[in-house]
């Protein structure tokens, strides 16, 4: 992906593989990350996110491949010599040191700082994470969220060129999590430090990151901006991993430049897709449509891509409603519609067991081949 800017990338991961025994936790991964990016590694449990991060920090050596940070080959460079700081999944605060000592720990290795400089920096960091009042406490006297902020301040204190965050918000409640997400984005904005954030929460990745890499079993499946990952997933795996999506098997019946017509028995008819993908007539494809891109109506809408079905389930969530509609083929389609106008229950678009029509724009449907 060329979105990281024209000049040489800040981090270059070249064909990196990490094997534990014969098992490849990270399998031939190549990735470029630009300076000042907030980059997210997203993937399910055990897909190798932490392992990749630990290789950047220097705690694991790649079995094959090379890693460059700021143009420098990291092979054989110990963690304490890398311009990198890491915030650990478990925070790893020193239990015998006060908050202040924890935050200042990395600074004692900064030769060109005076004692006064160090004190100022610690104070500045504590201000940043709003922990000035708790400077004298030990980690066991803090709440989970406070500990997490100490860990963040400690990792930031040395002003590294690269900051690695391993599931930084995993232990926080929803509200504190959202608050801290904004804090992290703020800090990133002000300091210009390059961030690599590991998460298994796709919403978190979408909110935080300027770019996301989706990982699966040690392999990177797609890299892109949140929008491109969500709207233009390259594979069924990525489409299914990010948000929810309806997927139907089909066969191409006609293909012109920019437009593909496919027969989709599950929906009970022909589907028109706006797609640049080169599809040959007769090829098996997958048609994917996100629930919020499907319109639901009682009357048959004008135009193509309209299919009849029966409402089997209905969930009301306040700002939107979720319908589960059963098609003639038996396939169930999820539809998400925003409750843009206020109506009483009996005035809803559809009720249980109602016959409805589902429709979507040709440009809203995705054509996936893998």
Partner 1 sequence: MPSWFNTWFNRDGWSKSIIAIPYFWLVFFFLIPFAIVVVMSFAERTATSPPVGFLPDFPYVTFENYGRLVGDWVYIRAYSTSIINAFMATILCLIVGYPMALGITRVNKSWRNILLMLVILPFWTSFLLRVYAWIGLMGSNSWFNKLLTAIVNSVLPADMAFRNIPMMNSNFAVVLVLVYSYLPFMILPLYANLEKLDTTLNEAAMDLGSRPWQVFKDVTLPLSIPGIIAGGLLVFIPASGELVIPSLVGNASDPMIGRVINDEFLTARHWPMASAVAVALLLLLVVPLMAYNHFEAKAQAGGKP
Ligand X SMILES: Nc1ncnc2c1ncn2[C@@H]1O[C@H](COP(=O)(O)OP(=O)(O)OP(=O)(O)O)[C@@H](O)[C@H]1O
Contacting residues toward Mg ion, per CB under 5 A: 50
Which residue, chain included where needed, has tokens 């005076």?
A: 114
Q: Does 133 bind partner 1 (CB under 8 A)?
A: yes
Site string for partner 1, 150-179 (x = CB under 8 A): ----x---x---------------------
Among 15, 30, 72, 141, indicate the residue that binds partner 1 (CB under 8 A): 141
Nearest to 208 by CA among 239, 165, 238: 165
Q: Does 98 bind partner 1 (CB under 8 A)?
A: yes
Give pairs for 275-278: CB < 8 Å, separation 24+. 275/366, 275/367, 277/367, 277/369
Q: Which of Mg ion, partner 1, ligand X, none interacts with 133 (beta carbon under 5 to 8 A by kind)?
A: partner 1
Q: Does 88 bind partner 1 (CB under 8 A)?
A: yes
Q: Per the structure block, which two tokens stand in for 148? A: 């997490």
Among 6, 76, 80, 344, indicate the residue that binds partner 1 (CB under 8 A): 80
Q: Does 84 bind partner 1 (CB under 8 A)?
A: yes
Q: Does 78 bind partner 1 (CB under 8 A)?
A: yes
Give min distance, CB of 21 to ligand X, in A. Answer: 7
Give min distance, CB of 137 to ligand X, in A. Answer: 28
Nearest to 150 by CA among 172, 122, 131: 131
The DSSP 8-state label assigned to residue 346 in this structure reads: G
Distances (CA, A) of 357 to 132, 281, 304, 311, 332: 59, 28, 12, 10, 13
Among 136, 192, 258, 303, indicate the residue that binds partner 1 (CB under 8 A): 136
Among 11, 38, 122, 134, indicate the residue that binds partner 1 (CB under 8 A): 134
Give min distance, CB of 23 to ligand X, in A. Answer: 6
Q: Specify the residue, 133 or 280, whose C-beta has the smaller distance to partner 1.
A: 133
Annotate 13-37 with DSSP letters as a single string. EEEEEEEETTEEEEEEEEEEE-TT-
Q: Per the structure block, which two tokens stand in for 63? A: 């079995």
Rounded Cα distance, 212 and 39, in Å: 6
- The number of residues making up the chain comes to 370
308 neighbors 354 (Cβ within 8 angstroms): no
Rounded Cα distance, 37 and 42, in Å: 15
Site string for partner 1, 24-63 (x = CB under 8 A): ---------------------------------x-x----
Q: Does 95 bind partner 1 (CB under 8 A)?
A: yes
Q: Which residues bind ligand X (CB under 6 A)?
A: 20, 25, 43, 45-51, 200
Where would I find the H helices in 129-225? 144-157, 174-191, 202-208
Q: Specify the residue, 85 or 275, whose C-beta has the smaller distance to partner 1.
A: 85
Q: Which of ligand X, partner 1, Mg ion, none interacts with 106 (beta carbon under 5 to 8 A by kind)?
A: partner 1
Those residues whose C-beta lies under 8 Å from the C-beta of residue 314, and which sit 6 or more positions away, are 321, 322, 323, 324, 348, 350, 351, 352
Q: Which of ligand X, partner 1, Mg ion, none interacts with 84 (beta carbon under 5 to 8 A by kind)?
A: partner 1
Q: Does 137 bind partner 1 (CB under 8 A)?
A: yes
Binding region for partner 1 (CB under 8 A): 57, 59, 78-80, 84-86, 88, 90, 92-96, 98, 105-106, 109-110, 133-134, 136-138, 141, 154, 158
């Amino acid at each position: 992906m060329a979105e990281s800017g024209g000049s040489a990338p800040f981090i270059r991961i070249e064909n990196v593989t990490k094997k534990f025994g014969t098992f490849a936790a990270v399998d031939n991964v190549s990735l470029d990350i630009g300076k000042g990016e907030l980059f997210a590694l997203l993937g399910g449990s055990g897909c190798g996110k932490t392992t990749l991060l630990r290789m950047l920090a220097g705690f694991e050596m790649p079995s094959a491949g090379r890693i460059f940070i700021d143009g420098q080959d990291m092979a054989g460079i110990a963690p304490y010599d890398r311009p990198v700081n890491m915030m650990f999944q478990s925070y790893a605060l020193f239990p015998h040191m006060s908050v202040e000592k924890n935050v200042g720990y990395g600074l004692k290795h900064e030769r060109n700082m005076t004692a006064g400089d160090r004190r100022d920096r610690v104070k500045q960091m504590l201000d940043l994470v709003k922990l000035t009042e708790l400077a004298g406490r030990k980690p066991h006297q803090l709440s989970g969220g406070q500990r997490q902020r100490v860990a963040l301040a400690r990792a930031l204190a040395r002003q590294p060129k690269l900051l690695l965050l391993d599931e930084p918000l995993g232990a926080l409640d929803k509200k504190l999590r959202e608050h801290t997400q904004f804090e992290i984005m703020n800090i990133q904005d002000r300091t210009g430090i390059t961030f690599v954030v590991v998460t298994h929460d796709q919403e978190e990745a979408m909110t935080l990151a300027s770019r996301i890499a989706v990982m699966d079993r040690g392999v990177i499946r797609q890299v892109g901006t949140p929008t491109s990952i969500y709207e233009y997933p390259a594979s069924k795996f990525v489409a299914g991993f990010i948000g929810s999506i309806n997927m139907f098997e089909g066969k191409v019946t006609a293909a012109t430049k920019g437009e593909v017509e496919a027969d989709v028995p599950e929906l009970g008819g022909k589907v028109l897709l706006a797609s640049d993908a080169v599809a040959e007539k007769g090829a098996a494809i997958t048609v994917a449509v996100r629930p919020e891109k499907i319109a639901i109506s009682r009357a048959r809408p004008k135009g193509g891509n309209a299919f009849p079905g029966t409402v089997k389930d209905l969930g009301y969530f306040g700002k939107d409603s979720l319908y589960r509609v059963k098609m003639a083929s038996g396939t169930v389609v999820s539809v998400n519609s925003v409750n843009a106008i206020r109506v009483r229950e009996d005035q809803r678009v559809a009720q249980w067991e109602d016959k409805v029509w589902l429709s979507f724009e040709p440009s809203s449907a995705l054509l996936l081949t893998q």
